[in-house]
Structure 1
Amino acid sequence: MSGEGAAITADTNQHYDLDPDIFGQFLDPLRKYSSALYESDSDTLESAQRNKLRFVARRLGLGGGEQLLDIGCGWGSLILFMAQEYGCHTLGVSPAPRQHEYIAEQATVRGVAQLVHTRVGHFEELDLPTGSVDAVTMLGSIVHMPDLDEVFRRARAVLRRGGRLYVSESCFRNAAARKAFDERAGTEFVRSDIFGWGELRPLSELVTAAEDAGFSIVAVDDLTDQYRRTIEDWIANVDAATDRIDAHQPGLAAKLQHYLEVANAGWGYTTKHYALTCRKAR
């Protein structure tokens, strides 16, 4: 890895290596850290996150027992859910060691330790068998990957013929919005104070990289309004748990709230949130 790549690896870990209890204060009980899917006005954050995971399963065409790879697995919500609900054999990849410890504990508690495995590292650097999985997921992780062509190429290589890739990501609304807002203060705050390195792209760049890698595009879903409501729920939870969050690190609740408010401010105007489903047709 180059010096720049090594810096990206270190910087991107800073947010996800916070104490797991912090995330438990404002996320749903599964600790899913990406957009939910609200099917009614009465849906809670927890029920909406379960709706979203079932939506992902439908997009992937899961019937039960498949081999699934989750890139950027976070706190394990997807791999734990797919193991419990669909009997999938799952592998999660993340560079944050604390997430792996938490996932292993949860897999044991939920009785799916034999179905849930993880590896510490970056997908681009791992040696994974060709044609070994039925489905690949990337929920909010591709923003941290500098080489789109390599990511899509490797995702296609690890899939069996007919396998599907699900990518959901926040994107600049178009190339002009990217040029205008990429270096604004809010964008830089998220990069430097929250996640480290990250790059939002227009949806067109994701589609081009997927097609150039040999994927067929199955579906594109606009989840922008869903993510807006998700973040509103997270903000409310941060506000309610300010004292408990600040007990870990003084001022952290205000930093989290500012980040979430910055993320919510641009929906529709500068940014969108899309789900892209691709198939390895041949």
Structure 2
Amino acid sequence: MTAAPAHAETNQHYDLDPEVFGQFLDPLRKYSSALYASPEQPLAEAQESKLRYVANHLGLRGGERILDIGCGWGSLILFMAKEFGTRALGVSPAPRQHEYIARRAAELGVTDLISTQVGHFEVMDLPARSFDAISMLGSIVHMPDLDAVFAKAKGLLRKGGRLYVSESCFRSDAVHAAFDRKAGTDFVREDIFGWGDMRPLSELVAGAERAGFSIVAVDDLTAHYYRTIEAWIANVAAAADKLDAHEPGLAAKLSHYLEVANAGWGYTTKHYALVCGNHR
């Protein structure tokens, strides 16, 4: 594998016009797996179900201080502030995401509960033991030093706090080695992400345990992510003209990326939710 930088730069994919994402994601602009309660459930409802699932795993009851690492377009921090009154900090290297989150927080009346920082979590100076819960939805894949990330997250959590990580993973170490440099993987890394490495679940669990976390739960969400991406592909097709108005050929590029992502579920890749407890 090509050596990663000290901390991975965010690809332009994450700093596109927010309206691009609004044209194929749900209204919350949540760019990670939904959680479907039934075959007929619409994407928007399934994404809200996923956020409630995350809140439940984090043990949120109201008023907690939470950190969302790789906050994207703010779906999680905005939802938790609105629904649970949490005080939320979102971290992301993409400036446009922060501008969008600030606008949405004002529209939702939660500006006093929301703050964000532009930059990389790995090098941020944050106060120890200052959070009740930390979430990482699809962000640890962009962080080269797994041990450092888990250790830092643990140091930021109060005793009894929880870390929620959801991530796409290679199915095993052997599959990781065999498929990591295939053409589809190169396309995702070089054309979509600045740097990313899908580790096997075993590496995430080992990294969390080395940092001193206790594993609370592991859930297989692979089928849910497949359905989520199918919905995104349909939305891209429906909005192709609008997407291509932003950048010629953007709809085809997004469709190709999403189809590659959906091709290997169960065979080469899986998607898991990992919940870790800070018991000391």
Q: Structure 1 residue 196: deviation in Å?
A: 1.7
Match of 2:170 in 1: 172
Aligned to 2:267, the other structure's residue is in SS state: coil
Match of 2:5 in 1: 5
Amino acid at match of 1:240: A
Match of 2:18 in 1: 20
The answer to whether the 8 Å contact 1:172/1:202 transfers is yes
* Equivalent of residue 278 in structure 1, options 271, 276, 279: 276
Amino acid at match of 1:256: L
Paired with 2:121 and 2:157, the residues of 1 have a C-alpha distance of: 14
Match of 1:220 in 2: 218
Q: Structure 1 residue 7: deviation in Å?
A: 7.8
The answer to whether the 8 Å contact 1:13/1:95 transfers is no
1:249 and 2:247 are equivalent in the alignment? yes
Amino acid at match of 2:169: C
RMSD: 1.0
The answer to whether the 8 Å contact 1:140/1:170 transfers is yes
How big is each residue's C-alpha offset from its partner over 1:156-180, in whole Å with a ceiling of 9 and x where there is no partner?
A: 0000000000000000000011011
Between 1:232-241 and 1:34-43, the stretch displaced more is 34-43
1:90 and 2:73 are equivalent in the alignment? no
The answer to whether the 8 Å contact 1:190/1:196 transfers is no
Match of 1:233 in 2: 231
Paired residues for 1:59-70 under 5 Å: 59-70=57-68
Paired with 1:247 and 1:49, the residues of 2 have a C-alpha distance of: 27
How big is each residue's C-alpha offset from its partner over 1:103-152, in whole Å with a ceiling of 9 and x where there is no partner?
A: 00000000000001100000000000000000000000000000000000
How big is each residue's C-alpha offset from its partner over 1:234-273, in whole Å with a ceiling of 9 and x where there is no partner?
A: 0000000000000000001000000000000000000000
Match of 1:269 in 2: 267
Aligned to 2:189, the other structure's residue is in SS state: helix
Aligned to 2:246, the other structure's residue is in SS state: coil
Paired with 1:199 and 1:41, the residues of 2 have a C-alpha distance of: 31
How big is each residue's C-alpha offset from its partner over 1:178-212, in whole Å with a ceiling of 9 and x where there is no partner?
A: 01100000000001111121000000000000000
Match of 1:192 in 2: 190
The answer to whether the 8 Å contact 2:11/2:192 transfers is no
Aligned to 2:167, the other structure's residue is in SS state: strand
Q: Specify every segment of 5 or more residues in structure 2 that has no aligned partner in the other structure, as ranges.
A: none
Q: Specify every segment of 5 or more residues in structure 1 that has no aligned partner in the other structure, as ranges.
A: none
Amino acid at match of 2:5: G
- Closer, same or farther in 2 for the Cα pair 1:202/1:6, shift >3 Å? closer
* Equivalent of residue 131 in structure 1, options 121, 129, 132: 129
The answer to whether the 8 Å contact 1:168/1:275 transfers is yes
The answer to whether the 8 Å contact 2:212/2:278 transfers is yes
The answer to whether the 8 Å contact 2:6/2:144 transfers is no
Aligned to 2:216, the other structure's residue is in SS state: strand
The answer to whether the 8 Å contact 2:89/2:116 transfers is yes
Amino acid at match of 1:114: D
* Equivalent of residue 104 in structure 1, options 87, 102, 105: 102
* Equivalent of residue 77 in structure 1, options 59, 75, 78: 75
Q: Structure 1 residue 4: deviation in Å?
A: 5.4
Match of 2:113 in 1: 115
Number of residues paired by the alignment?
Answer: 278
4+ aligned runs moved over 4 Å, structure 1 = none
Q: TM-score, normalised by structure 1?
A: 0.97
Q: TM-score, normalised by structure 2?
A: 0.98
Amino acid at match of 2:17: D
The answer to whether the 8 Å contact 2:18/2:96 transfers is yes
